[in-house]
Every structure is written in C-alpha cells, then in structure tokens.
Structure 1
C-alpha cells in the first residue's frame, strides 16, 4: 500500500473528470442565497486558543461558566466538548428570511446539545434536521435533541439506507455499530422523510445530494472490514450508499459543500454537486473527508491534487479527515485551509 501523501503527476491524472454513469436530472435550479453561517457544534477536536478572522469565528473560553468552589468567584469558565462525531448548525439567509437546519448530531446523546447550550444556541428554533448517513457518530445526539425540542414534530431528511445494520470486523474483534430505529425516532418526535434522490429544501436554496455518483478512479470507499447486513448475510459495504452532503449556492461566490464523513469521496461529492447544480465554482468545502488511517491515506495525494485544481476559498476539513491529510491540505492550500474545532462559526456572504 502506497505511503505517499503528496500529489504527483499520476495523482493528477487520476483526478481527471470522467463521465458519470446513467442519467441524472441536470442541472437542478438551486436558488442562490445571500449569507450562510455554519457553526460546528461537535467535532473531534476543541482548541480554545485558535484565532479567528473576518469569516471564521472561534468560541474560545468563556461562553459558559459552571460552579467550581476552588475559585474565588465560585465558578469557572468552560470550553466545549469534543468527541469522535460531527454536527453542524447551518443558517442560510435569502433576502430577509433566515432558515436554520441541523446537519448531523454527533456521537453522544448529550454532547451536541451541551455544546449548543454553552454557545447560547437555541435548538428549538431549528426548522429541520438532515442526516448525512446512518453511522452512530452522526446520529447519537438525536435523543438529546428530542429531549430539548419537547413535544413538537421536527422534519428530518434521511436516505432510506440509514436503517442498515453495520459492523466492523477485524482479526482482533467484531464491533457491531448501533443501528438507527425509525420507530424510535418517530416516537421521539421526528418526522422522518426518506429520499434517495437529490432534494431541495428551504424554498429551493439548500440541496441535499442524495446518493452520490462515484466517478473518480481512486475513491474506492470502505475497506472489507466494513460490513452491512443484507439478504440475511453480512457483506462488504464499501459504498455507504446513504452518504449525502448539503450544498448551498452563495450568490456570486459559488458552491458551499458540507459533508458528514465524505464516505462517497470528497472529490466525488464536489463533482456531484457541480454536476447537479450546473455551478462550476466551489467556494467552500467543510466537514469530514474520511482520509484517516492506512486504508485511506493512499487517497490523500489524488484528493489534494483535485481540490487544489478547484481552488476553494475556504477549506475546513474536520472529524474523520485525519492528521496526515490535514497537514497535506494545509501545505497545498494555505490561504484556504482552516483548522476545525467544536464551536467554530464560518460566516460567508454573497459577493
């Protein structure tokens, strides 16, 4: 297995576009928005000393305090939680109307909700939830969200395969992932909307990609250890077919693409978003890019080559991107790359 994490001429050749198989409704009329705010409510890291700029705000210490008798005041400032999970609050403004969606919910039942409280985020103002896929580190916080929302019904867009039982099988052990229950989510107040194909939300200004076309020659998906229960057997599940992304067209700037884990492949996802919308420019790519670990590190080189060619103005990978990919992306795109952290808010405005 290749150890290189640097883009090369062969890497660049492998990122050359190739036609997507089958037919698609193309393009989709994605209405441009005037402003978008993406607040990372949960990520794998939290760094209170990160410095923000005009477009990226940091939480730092002090958003919340808790009792602590060892201090003169009897209280202490706390930061935010971090865990192996992802959740982001997405607010889009079109003309005078703001709409807020939750994209994924993190790993633990209370982690995302606790961070929202510490940041002063009112989750009852949500107008919808989107799940990027069914893995438990993106859906674990739904029970905490349900408790926060109370008795109201909350629409939630998912791919029909989010209910698929999955496991990771290695020579050392078998880890059966927690599987989402549609019945339980309905009982907790979620109005589940299953969509396999691309869908438009928020008066046509937010696109949920649905299943992503796999068009690159290097993004092969999950290793053989990742399995799904289908047809009464455990089978290799390389595609995680329920993987989908959220896309917004920022007026005069280009596409803003938000991924959960990017199981479909970061380059596949960006290409799919461009193909669906007919918008060529990618302004920002945020979220998990799933380039961590021995099975995915060989993909770093061609991924970086393709993203460098796209030249996004903001690149904020998080969650499962991995430290090797982060270092390589930071070196290749120093003006665009921004380290992710729980509590970070990206504020992007139209040109």
Structure 2
C-alpha cells in the first residue's frame, strides 16, 4: 500500500533530519546534504546556530538513553509559492534511562515522550528547524520535581552558538503557511478560546477526542481539552498568544490534519500548574497537531517545553547565556 502514496515536497529533507539527527546520530553526507550550514534550530529551551551546534544538540538524550528508539508518527508538508517547502512531523521517543547527564543519575526506568518538529526547506536544504520536546513527560516518568530540575540546570556555560530561550529571544512573527481550511478553522478556535471562548471546545471537539498534552498527559473529550488550554491561560493571563504558522492537508489514506506553531509571550502573573504568580517574563514555544472527523477534532497533540518554562520562572529575567542548557537540554 505504501507504493500508492506519493512522497510530498520537503519529506526527503525531513526524513534525513529525523534519521541523521535524532535516530542514529549520523551527521555525515546525507545530513550535510539535507541541512544548510547556517541552519538555526529554534528549540523550546534554546536557539542553536549552525550545523555543528544543531548536530551536537542531539547528543545529551542519546547518552541518557543509549537504546532509545525514535518513531515518526506523522508528517505533513507543503510547497510555498516562493518555492520553499515547509513541513511538520511528530516523533515518539522511547528508551531506558541508563545513562547519566541531562536527566540526572541513571535510574533504569523506561521513558517515552513526544518530540514535535517544523522545518523550512530552501534550495533542497533545511534552513530553519523548530523543535519542542515534552520535557515534562520525562521528568514525570523519572519522578523529578520540575522546579528542582530547573534549578539544577541553571548552572554551567552556554557556547556562543547557543542562546537560551527567554524574553530576549528574537520575535520571528507570523509566517506563511498554506490555505488549508482545517488549519485555519482550528487556529481560529484556539485563538478565540485563549481570548476567553473556552466553551468552543464543547462545540468543536469530538466527545471521544483522544488528547495528548505536555507532561505526557493523555485524556479524552472536550472538557479535557478545555482544561489544558484554560490552565495555560490561567498561568499567563496577560501573555500574548499568537499562532505563528498554520499548515494542513488531506493526504491519501489519512484523516484531514493540521499543524500549528504558536507562542505565548508575557508575564507569569496567574495561578495554575506553574505555582504562585511571580511576574517573571517568559516565552513559550508550542507545537500542535490535530486530526479531524465528522464531529470535529478527534485527536490532538499539543506540547511545550515545561522544563524551559520552569527555568525562566526560577531564574527570572533570564539573561541569555545559561549553564547546562547546551549540554543538558537537548533532543
């Protein structure tokens, strides 16, 4: 059946990136051919500039889980009018925590978490990568208190080609996506919900919708969707929520899908899963994907880097160069 499905534009580079960077640590000819020398990886925790920085950014979790297995669960891509290709992928990473480093001393526990990726391809090479890892799922699996982990991470030295994510990070603004109705409708729903229209989830989500959220949370139904997004807004009530890219598609043998890149930028001035308000400035990079059925959204994946948010809150006004993140916060 695979022979009946035509590979979409940008898929070749995306597959090379997944295999070379996150699956096999093969940074040879295929990786170099697919990735531009001056590529920038915009991570949930830091910004990595240049092919070498991007390549080495993958090593920490590989050391922590030497036997880890990476599966690409889904991928959607589109060619823009200016000949660039954009794409989004959702990965599932699993393995045994048998190595030290980023997640502390080895525990021997099995861990599993999502990684979501968006790429831009120009002249057959990836020039920009947006990558979010569900750090919260790992911390939960290892019984690590996120606040303590964030404190531990705030300590060594970042190389010059790595900049920690904080309120000073460049504002990239909204970027071109495609004209998918699915992406536009879902984007509009989330934007309206984050402005207070949380009742929309009851109207637009399937009663049995399967939901996968930051922290390794799995849930079902509109009320659970409402709870996730309402908690995020409650933690950062005055923060600006923006959808930065919308991508959707109707591929053969697949349900209609959409992928969004979004951002929250503002103060931690509300109550919720990040504790008492601190007034600290934060930037949250989020990636979301959804599938649709006759009763609305039937599956959703939305993640952001919980560890990065805690680091920003614990440090406060984080000044760009922070320890541990280069070698500690990696996918």
Question: Do they fold alike, i.e. is TM over 0.5?
Answer: no
Larger Rg: 1
Of structures 1 and 2, the one with the larger relative CO (CA 8 A, separation 6+) is: 1
Higher percent of residues as strand: 2
Higher percent of residues as helix: 2
